Amino acid sequence: MASNFNLVGKDYIPPDVRAKVTGRAKYADDYLFDNLLHAKTFKSPYAHARVKSIDTSAAEKMSGVRAVLTYKDVPAEPINQPALDGEPLVFGTPVAAVAAVDEYTAADAVDAIDVEWEVLDHVIDPIETLKPGSPNARSDGNIPTGKSLSEAQARQTKSNPTIDTVKWDNADFSTPYPTNAGEYTVNWSWGDVSKGLAKADHVIEDTVEAHPVVTNPMEPRSNVAYWQSNGKLRVWGSSQSVGLTYFGLAGAVGANPADVSMILNFCGGGFGSKGTNYPQMSIPALLSKEVNQPVKIRGTRREEFYWGNGRSSNVFHFKIGFSKTGRITGLDVQTVADAGAYSSNALSNISGALTALSANLQPETMRARAIGVFTNTPKRWPMRGPGQNQAALAVEPLLDRAAKELGIDSLKLRLQNVPTTGDPAGENKTPLTSAHLGEAYQMAAQAFGYDQKKSLNGKREGNLVHGIGMGSASHQSGYVGFDGLMAIHPDGTVEIRQGAGNLGTYSYSDVCRLGAETLGVPWDQVTVGWGRSDRSSFTLGQFSSNTTFTTGLSQVKAAETAVSYLQEIAANSRGGGPSDYQVANGEVSNGSGDSMTLAEAAKAAVSMGGKYTGEAIPADLKKSLNPMTLAAAGDLVGKALIAFGHSGGPDLKGFVDSFNAAMAHVTIDLGTGKIRVIDLADYGDSGTIVHPASYHAQIQGGAIQGIGYALTELMRFDEQTGIPINTDWYQNKPPSILDYTEQPLKTGGVNKPDPYGPHGAKGVGEPPYGAAASAVTAAIQNGLGATFQHHPITPSDVLDKIAAGETKVS
């Protein structure tokens, strides 16, 4: 248990908090420049169209306009959205961009651009595009193909899925989910599901949709770029991550990474949508290149609704077999996934969703079939997960339904099926490095008062009916192959040049706590480095609930390097062998009176040079360190003890997965349809909890967002034109402070270490969301005795069910 730590598991005040409460924290739109130009974009008014001709001459002639670019001037992208597109595939896609002396002038110039359009067929519904003779969202096809990779893997391996066309010629589309489905691009099995279903005592079959929502971080994506005539490009950007954003942007605009630097200190939320670079970041860079002045694009809220990324959607068809005790004997899942027109993210959705189903439910047999499609809807990226939370929303209420129909307790059914350490996950049945979902459920049940509350389910109280439900979710949360970097200065301070971005999770600082724990250095001697690409070690992006494990592990590796150097330096200086020495409490000592402070050791390192100061890099590290990491140490070489670390294959065997379980109590007003969440408990298995206050905040935040997913948020499109119609917060509402439980949510964690995690830590960001959302939708369905195939579940939906006589409310 996490009881012997100095830093891990203890709360502290991270180094950016004072700036946040004083207003000194600078987000991309807060940097002020003397000669700043402002950019606006000319956007497509159609769901799918092609530019026949574009005339920017009037805009160019306008006083105050300094540069105009069109899609002809920017690099193309095979699948992903180019900065400007001549065949915009989504309403609102930028086609041209203007840089002018102020925003008003820029907007006028945009109005003065004339485009002749060829309007093309569009498709909004993912099932529609599989019908023979139906439109394709893209001229080059309607499905992304290739290996189902998580976005993280795709970025790491630089693999580019391709595009194809698939129609289900023989399917019957008259049912909610097509029967006699055609080709799937993803097919895998655990055992023989037909046998598993055949032996089941009870089978539940249903079609359920997980709907698209807009990510909508509080900070719209603004970016400032200054591409100087000497080739150096500096960007003050809004991004969750550093390394991937930096390399991604350099690639997108055709700059040499060595010439690019990014300032990414503060990001006003991302939730996946700003996980790496994105087209709006390219636009000011390309404009700046024309004029050798800084150019800002100030993102607007409305733009977030159609280019701010959102959650990909699924239509699932489940056939689940249960034994009479509630054990899942067979899980047959088919899904069509949709991530919009500009993203192959449907493949990540599928991979994430199917893996999560297998991991959380541990079916005895399973068959997974899936296909991703393109539609002319806003590009979707992971939003608190690419697909795991969609799967949770869709499947968890079915488990409660099975429990009800089998006459057994819901929690008992869940506990029959939860994974434990070593159980398989995903297509390849990779063993889970740790799994304590059962304990998370029990902790949630305890905090929630499940034994007392469960009898409330279906109980009438005047016009209200009570509903009790539960759900769980998971997300892969650990990767290896990344770098850490620590420097011990001659003054004894330990500077940790970690590479995580800062979007509000505090993981950029918590990974330094992990490294500092290994080094045994008092926290007040530690300087946390973050927010500058030229001082960041290379790590994975801040998504996928992974930072604490992935970046934390790479920093622990760097600390281990530092420890071994300190031992060698102490032996060299004080005598004996390195293994005689221990590093703790800010010094290296042998317990018999020979010791050096970190400052003394660093000074000795500087005089010894070689690998101790980065003047020589050990061969194994040289092979594996990213150039970004080496460059991040550049100004320190020869001046401090420099310790690199790299996490690799031997550091991880298995599948790192974090889990959450939630229980919800709702009331439904049968007269108005209004749903209130009365109580919600959400507990997680995230390995060792590193920073308790932030851990609880992540669960609360995820749960509250999840309530929005369940009850109020949805991307809606005009059926005929495909144009998004609810593009502001009044019509597409995220939870306000009045829209969740009246009393505080109940949150916590199992806090058992993962064998591969840095000091046992895993990750937390995403599972709380799906667990909460599914618990709420399950509670509604349980309380009403109704099933819902579509979400969100709004008052109108409730009243429709009541009017149709499809509830069991007395």
Q: Which of 252, 570, 652, 745 binds another protein (CB under 8 A)?
A: 745
Contacts of 61 (CB under 8 A, 6+ apart): none
How many C-beta atoms surround the C-beta of residue 637 within 10 A? 16
What's the CA gap between 577 and 571, in Å, rounded? 5
**In the complex, what is the shortest distance from the CB of residue 231 to another protein, in angstroms, rounded to a whole number?**
29
Contact between 209 and another protein by CB under 8 A: the answer reads: no
Contact between 61 and another protein by CB under 8 A: the answer reads: yes
Kindly state the tokens that stand for 16: 């950016």
According to DSSP, the residues that pair with 334 across neighbouring strands are: 317, 369
How far CA 387 is from CA of 299, 311, 354, 427, 506, in Å, comes to 27, 8, 8, 15, 24
**641 DSSP 8-state letter:** E
Could you please report the per-residue DSSP string of 776-789?
Answer: HHHHHHHHHT----
Q: Which CB sits closer to another protein, 25 or 617?
A: 25
**In the complex, what is the shortest distance from the CB of residue 31 to another protein, in angstroms, rounded to a whole number?**
8
Q: Which CB sits closer to another protein, 304 or 483?
A: 304
Contact between 309 and another protein by CB under 8 A: the answer reads: no
How many C-beta atoms surround the C-beta of residue 300 within 10 A? 13
Binding piece for another protein, criterion CB under 8 A, among 117-125, 316-324, 473-481, 542-550? 117-125
**In the complex, what is the shortest distance from the CB of residue 107 to another protein, in angstroms, rounded to a whole number?**
4
Q: Which CB sits closer to another protein, 190 or 543?
A: 543
What's the CA gap between 343 and 380, in Å, rounded? 7
Q: Which CB sits closer to another protein, 340 or 481?
A: 340
Identify residues 218-247 at the interface with another protein (CB under 8 A): 218-220
Coil, helix or strand at residue 130: helix
What's the CA gap between 167 and 760, in Å, rounded? 47
Q: Which of 155, 221, 289, 298 binds another protein (CB under 8 A)?
A: 298
Binding piece for another protein, criterion CB under 8 A, among 155-163, 418-426, 478-486, 699-707? 699-707
Q: Which of 10, 58, 594, 648 binds another protein (CB under 8 A)?
A: 58
Contact between 720 and another protein by CB under 8 A: the answer reads: yes
Identify residues 73-102 at the interface with another protein (CB under 8 A): 91-92, 101-102
Coil, helix or strand at residue 95: strand
46: left (phi > 0), else alpha (psi -120 to 50), else beta? Answer: beta
Q: Which of 175, 693, 789, 806 binds another protein (CB under 8 A)?
A: 693
Q: Which of 301, 412, 429, 622 binds another protein (CB under 8 A)?
A: 301
Binding piece for another protein, criterion CB under 8 A, among 161-169, 269-277, 517-525, 756-764? 269-277
Identify residues 505-534 at the interface with another protein (CB under 8 A): 505-506
Contact between 103 and another protein by CB under 8 A: the answer reads: yes
Q: Which of 76, 619, 737, 803 binds another protein (CB under 8 A)?
A: 737
Contact between 547 and another protein by CB under 8 A: the answer reads: no
Contacts of 13 (CB under 8 A, 6+ apart): none
What is the contact mask toward another protein in residues 17 to 56, using x (rule: CB under 8 A)?
xx-xxxx-xxx-xx-x-----x-xxxxxxx-----x--x-
Contact between 266 and another protein by CB under 8 A: the answer reads: yes
Q: Which CB sits closer to another protein, 267 or 761?
A: 267
Kindly state the tokens that stand for 455: 């009898």
> Which uninterrupted H or E stretch holds 391?
helix 388-406
| Phi/psi of residue 542, nearest 5 degrees | -90, 75
Contact between 390 and another protein by CB under 8 A: the answer reads: no
What burial letters (b/e) apply to 13-25, b meaning 16+ CB within 10 Å?
A: ebbbeeeeeeeeb
What's the CA gap between 505 and 580, in Å, rounded? 39
Contact between 144 and another protein by CB under 8 A: the answer reads: no
Kindly state the tokens that stand for 197: 């279903």
Q: Which CB sits closer to another protein, 120 or 632?
A: 120
**In the complex, what is the shortest distance from the CB of residue 380 to another protein, in angstroms, rounded to a whole number?**
17
Q: Which of 110, 249, 337, 664 binds another protein (CB under 8 A)?
A: 110
Identify residues 1-20 at the interface with another protein (CB under 8 A): 13, 17-18, 20
Q: Which CB sits closer to another protein, 94 or 321?
A: 94
Q: Which CB sits closer to another protein, 41 or 626?
A: 41
Q: Which of 275, 372, 735, 785 binds another protein (CB under 8 A)?
A: 735
Contact between 108 and another protein by CB under 8 A: the answer reads: yes
**In the complex, what is the shortest distance from the CB of residue 43 to another protein, in angstroms, rounded to a whole number?**
4
How many C-beta atoms surround the C-beta of residue 80 within 10 A? 16
Contact between 621 and another protein by CB under 8 A: the answer reads: no
According to DSSP, the residues that pair with 227 across neighbouring strands are: 233
Nearest to 479 by CA among 527, 559, 544: 544
Kindly state the tokens that stand for 666: 């709702």
**In the complex, what is the shortest distance from the CB of residue 305 to another protein, in angstroms, rounded to a whole number?**
11
Contact between 751 and another protein by CB under 8 A: the answer reads: no
Contact between 283 and another protein by CB under 8 A: the answer reads: no
Contact between 263 and another protein by CB under 8 A: the answer reads: no
What's the CA gap between 74 and 800, in Å, rounded? 49
Contact between 116 and another protein by CB under 8 A: the answer reads: yes
Binding piece for another protein, criterion CB under 8 A, among 441-449, 546-554, 572-580, 726-734? 726-734
Q: Which CB sits closer to another protein, 294 or 363?
A: 294
**In the complex, what is the shortest distance from the CB of residue 120 to another protein, in angstroms, rounded to a whole number?**
5
> Which uninterrupted H or E stretch holds 204?
strand 202-210
**422 DSSP 8-state letter:** T
**In the complex, what is the shortest distance from the CB of residue 681 to another protein, in angstroms, rounded to a whole number?**
14
Q: How many residues bind another protein (CB under 8 A)?
A: 94
Contact between 503 and another protein by CB under 8 A: the answer reads: yes
Length of the chain as a residue count: 810
CA angle at 596 for the pair 590 and 600, rounded to the nearest 5°: 160
Q: Which CB sits closer to another protein, 92 or 144?
A: 92
Q: Which CB sits closer to another protein, 216 or 329?
A: 216
End-to-end CA distance of the chain: 49
Three-class SS of 48-76: CEEEEEEECHHHHHCCCEEEEEEHHHCCC
Contact between 704 and another protein by CB under 8 A: the answer reads: yes
Cis check for the bond before 792: say yes or no (omega within 30 of 0): yes
Binding piece for another protein, criterion CB under 8 A, among 279-287, 508-516, 648-656, 721-729? 721-729
Contact between 120 and another protein by CB under 8 A: the answer reads: yes
User: Would you say the C-alpha torsion 23, 24, 27, 33 has a positive or negative sign?
Assistant: positive
**In the complex, what is the shortest distance from the CB of residue 59 to another protein, in angstroms, rounded to a whole number?**
9
Nearest to 188 by CA among 355, 16, 58: 355
What's the CA gap between 316 and 118, in Å, rounded? 35
Contact between 460 and another protein by CB under 8 A: the answer reads: no
What burial letters (b/e) apply to 730-755, b meaning 16+ CB within 10 Å?
A: eebbbbeeeebbeeebbbbbbbbbbe
